[in-house]
Amino acid sequence: MASELIIRSVEEADALMLLVRASAARARDWMSTQTEDPLEMLRRIKFEPVGFHPIEDRPLNFIEQINQTWTFAVPTSVLCTLSGIPKRYHAAASARSTGGIDPPP
């Protein structure tokens, strides 16, 4: 696991966001197959590695996946904004936001 991530171009930001989206899709796919007791599903989400690391191909508990997803996504969006790179992603700025990461219309 890398201790830092350096993004030098729009292409690298795009590649990072493709990885983040792919891991989010894998988590969504897992959730859509769950038919067990809802409380059991929530227990598994919290305590078992049923999620996926956003940029590394390895399992992670789902709650940590959520945290790590925004750890990568928000700085990527901010970096693009501050460096003048065309902003291709809108990222939720806080846990209270209902927004997500979506390419602009």
pLDDT tens across the length of the chain (105 residues): 455 777 777 778 778 888 989 999 999 999 999 999 999 999 999 999 999 999 899 999 999 999 888 887 767 666 666 566 555 544 444 433 444 444 444
Phi, psi at residue 49, to the nearest 5°? -80, 70
CA 6 to chain CA centroid, Å, is 17
Closest CA to 9 of 54, 76, 93, 103: 76
The continuous run of DSSP H or E covering 52 comes out as strand 51-52
* pTM, full prediction: 0.69
Q: What is the pLDDT of residue 30?
A: 95
Q: What is the pLDDT of residue 84?
A: 62
Q: What is the pLDDT of residue 53?
A: 93
Q: What is the pLDDT of residue 11?
A: 78
